[in-house]
Amino acid sequence: MQKNLIWFRNDLRLYDHTALNEACKSDEDQVIALFIATPEQWSNHFMSSKKISFLYYHLISLKKELLKLNIILHYYESTNFLKSIEYLMYFCSQHKINNLFYHYEYENNERNRDCLVKKQLSQQGVVVKGFHDKLLVSGQYIKNKKNQTYKVFSFFKKKIIENLQYNIPLCFPIPSKRKLNKNSCSHFFSSEKINLNFNKKIFPIGEIAAINRLKIFCKYKANDYLLKRNFPFLDSTSMLSPYLSLGIISSRHCLIKFLKEQKNISLNILYSSSWLNQILWREFYYHLLIAFPKISRYQSLSLWEKNIDWSTNIKYLNAWKEGNTGFPIVDAGMRQLNKLGWMHNRLRMITASFLVKNLLINWREGEKYFMSHLIDGDLALNNGGWQWCASVGSDSVPYIRIFNPCNQSKKIDKLGMFIKKFIPELRHVPNQYIHQPQEWSHRNHYKIDYPAPIINYNDSRKKALLIFNKARLSFKK
């Protein structure tokens, strides 16, 4: 009989869990689980308080579900990754662990931690087994002709769809109930210590809730996603990102559930589905993080970015953070983020473009702020999105593309329904003026408690084009 340990990290689920499935293959083996919290490390990585709270509530849920399988989940609170390694060594020694099972993580510090764990546990006689559970397809199969990771999404997408067409991954079932180990007991935190600072109605707790959300989306919303996805006042997105970020549900599960609803696993479906495209973008950013570790160190993939003369205007940065720029769609997006810890994807692009291309503030400031507030914060996706908007990453939009907040607002929130929901000061402004409320205020001599635009959009656009063009040309020289 072997004693197997599952080390849970950002994979807080039972269904389609590779490491759990492997650890439970033999009915004779004893299986226990462990989660090590590292608050100091989380703080250093700008993990938001909402995501931490969301994580703790799901740990409680995971513990209860594991108990149904007679698997005990142990909990320990360390400070950082190095200290967590020390405890893991101690835990494995105390419990006489033979095999450790876990899923790979791709951020720089996490990869260094796992290398040390494997080295030290191997010396201790423990067999370490890691799995690429976050990926639909292993990076070794998604390479260009030069055996390099793709930097352009369209090429990456074509390659991975060709692979998926013939190798649709399977989801692992929840393992069967284990034999009861009467000697097992766990140390766990008190639920009374957790601050509930996220909206449980919007983000319900538990793997079952996440699976139900996926089912409803795939059955009733997925086919209309392309038409409705850009309108933030509609309930048209899956809202699964917080669950995906903590591994409460897997990308594989999302892919397979969607294809089952379509009842047609064809190349055309894989290419044309706008929602599956979002799943593939997640995959793309993970592959980039693996291939280019410098992403974890706030370095852009475009070398010419170092020649951009970023602004350090604190007044502008704070106005952007607080949602007081005078551009309603930008401010509504930022206030949604500050209130819910989540922002509609289209608004993430608009607000990011505004900070970088109009206020000319370093994209890293925006990346940190988003991470420190998002309930679905994920380094690979957040960094990838910011570098994309700043035109300094892989597959980046041309630097000449700058989102016009007023035009975007008219396209995605024509009647101002979303704007008025998050900016109550503008509820009395007529719909035709909601995108430029100060114009209505001046015409009608009606004072509104909302700031005038902090910049002139057209002037800021011209300035950004000059600065970005100069940075690129000077690099070429």
Q: Which residue type, as a one-letter code, is found at position 2?
A: Q
Collapsing DSSP to helix, strand or coil, 449 comes out as: coil
H or E segment to which residue 30 belongs: strand 30-37
Q: Is 220 annotated as a binding residue?
A: no
Q: How far apart are CA 94 and CA 82, in angstroms?
A: 19
Q: Is 231 annotated as a binding residue?
A: no
With contact defined as beta carbons under 8 Å apart, do 217 and 240 qualify? yes
Strands 99-103 and 30-37: unpaired
Q: Is 377 annotated as a binding residue?
A: yes
Q: In a 10 Å sphere around its CB, with 0-12 CB exposed, 13-18 middle and 19+ buried, how is residue 176 labelled?
A: exposed
Q: Is 376 annotated as a binding residue?
A: yes
Q: Is 278 annotated as a binding residue?
A: yes
Query: For the chain, what percentages of helix, strand and coil (3-state, to nearest 5) are there?
Result: 55, 5, 40
Q: Is 184 annotated as a binding residue?
A: no
Q: How far apart are CA 218 and CA 240, in angstroms?
A: 12
Q: Is 385 annotated as a binding residue?
A: no
Question: Which one-letter DSSP state was computed for residue 73?
Answer: E
Q: Which two tokens stand for residue 241?
A: 């990102």
Q: What is the largest CA-CA distance in the chain?
A: 82
Q: Is 342 annotated as a binding residue?
A: no
Q: How far apart are CA 160 and CA 142, in angstroms?
A: 6
Q: Is 241 annotated as a binding residue?
A: yes
Residue ranges of alpha helices (H) inside 323-404 are 328-340, 345-353, 363-371, 379-389
Collapsing DSSP to helix, strand or coil, 38 comes out as: coil
Q: How far apart are CA 66 and CA 182, in angstroms?
A: 15
DSSP states of 199-248: -TTTS--SHHHHHHHHHHIIIIIGGGHHHHTT-TTS--S---HHHHHTTS
Q: Is 378 annotated as a binding residue?
A: yes
CA distances to 76, 206, 221, 383 from 38, in Å: 9, 22, 37, 22
Q: Is 148 annotated as a binding residue?
A: no
Q: Is 281 annotated as a binding residue?
A: yes
H or E segment to which residue 131 belongs: strand 127-131
Geometric angle at alpha carbon 476, from 471 and 477, rounded to 5°: 100
Collapsing DSSP to helix, strand or coil, 113 comes out as: helix
Q: Is 259 annotated as a binding residue?
A: no
Where is the binding site, in residues? 225, 237-241, 275, 278-285, 376-378
Query: Annotated binding site for FAD: which residue ranges?
Result: 225, 237-241, 275, 278-285, 376-378
